[in-house]
């Protein structure tokens, strides 16, 4: 049943997932974590929700435009299920917005494979990463992905290697000018500290770290199996999936570094994680087994949710 609905790209899939995210977002913030908002904060939370919902469209656009997956909705399904698995990520406004801008960066990074307008794509990708770093300083680690992509597709053009620096300088100048106008230049020194996340409660650290590590290990196993199965698809597809895997690794690194009681950056791993899971499902040839895997993928977040928020 699940594969019959999400096995193709249909408008109903967007309606189902967007409606679920809309309701789930407010349930998490208002009832699970019992947050209260002022009138201005309600507007801010609605804007953040908009970034989250648009992320669904961005994920679907990236996987379809770059043929990461076939003509199905598995990627956005798994993206939504991962949000359900890590509901604490919905408390972190910076994480949601940072993840959206990293999606825009990843869209341009993958499109470099066409070798058309490489400088413009490098500039755009680097610019979006720099913007994402305004919300998470450690997002700058994703410049590693930019340079790895450049080394894969066009390593001999020396000028291209300076484009990310120019893009970063552009964002820095704009941001610094705005901060001078608002008399808030201290933001630069207070934000870009590159500190590690700190937990005062070891039990909370173990709970968050344990789930993140199990999640990362599972994606690693699934990703490895998927790479073995898609070995015959051609070098172009393999290179794209390598970039997806590297993006996931960088996202996990940022999550391990940055996670703190009020910071949950795991959402930046959801796109590459969902793409790898979707690709794995596509490698399953038997319909019954594929359906069983999808059912398990649906049940795991539900069971985890019950264990964490109801049976405790």
* Token code pair at residue 72: 């199905």
- In the numeric block, the tokens 């407010």 are attached to 26
pLDDT for 200 beyond 50? no
Whole-Å CA distances, 92 to 33, 124, 177, 265: 12, 25, 27, 8
163 phi, psi to nearest 5 deg: -60, -45
Of the two residues 33 and 53, the one the predictor is more confident about is 53
- For residue 235, what pLDDT is reported? 65
Please compute the mean of the pLDDT values over residues 176-204 and round it to a whole number: 79
Q: Model's pTM, two decimal places?
A: 0.93
- For residue 36, what pLDDT is reported? 86
Environment class of residue 40 by beta-carbon count within 10 Å: exposed (0-12), middle (13-18) or buried (19+)?
exposed
Which pLDDT band holds residue 183 (cuts at 50, 70, 90)?
Answer: confident
DSSP helix/strand/coil, 260: strand
Domain boundaries, the chain: 2-309
Lowest mean pLDDT among 75-79, 171-175, 253-257, 269-273: 253-257
């Amino acid at each position: 049943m699940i594969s019959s609905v999400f096995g193709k790209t249909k408008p109903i899939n967007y309606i189902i997932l967007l409606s679920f995210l809309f309701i789930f977002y407010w349930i998490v913030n208002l009832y699970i974590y019992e947050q209260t908002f002022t009138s201005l904060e309600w507007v801010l939370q609605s804007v953040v929700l908009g970034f989250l919902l648009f992320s669904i469209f961005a994920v679907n656009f990236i996987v379809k435009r770059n043929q990461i997956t076939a003509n199905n909705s598995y990627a956005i399904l798994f993206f939504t299920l991962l949000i359900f698995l890590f509901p604490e990520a919905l408390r972190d406004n910076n994480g949601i917005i940072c993840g959206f801008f990293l999606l825009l960066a990843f869209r341009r990074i993958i499109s470099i494979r066409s070798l058309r307008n490489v400088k413009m794509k490098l500039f755009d990708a680097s610019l979006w990463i720099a913007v994402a770093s305004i919300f998470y300083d450690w997002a700058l680690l994703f410049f590693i992905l930019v340079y790895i992509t450049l080394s894969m597709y066009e390593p001999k053009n020396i000028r291209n290697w300076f484009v990310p620096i120019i893009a970063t300088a552009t964002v820095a100048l704009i941001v610094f000018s705005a901060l001078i106008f608002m008399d808030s230049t201290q933001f630069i020194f207070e934000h870009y500290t590159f500190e590690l996340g700190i937990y005062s409660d070891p039990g909370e650290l173990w709970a968050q770290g344990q789930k993140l590590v199990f999640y990362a290990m599972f994606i690693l196993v699934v990703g490895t199996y998927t790479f073995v199965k898609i070995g015959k698809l051609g070098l172009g597809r393999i290179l794209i999936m390598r970039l997806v895997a590297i993006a996931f690794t960088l996202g996990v690194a940022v999550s391990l570094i940055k996670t703190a009681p009020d910071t949950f950056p795991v959402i930046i791993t959801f796109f590459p994680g969902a793409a790898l899971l979707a690709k794995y499902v596509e490698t399953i040839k038997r319909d019954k087994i594929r359906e069983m895997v999808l059912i398990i993928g649906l049940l795991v977040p539900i069971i985890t949710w019950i264990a964490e928020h109801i049976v405790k």
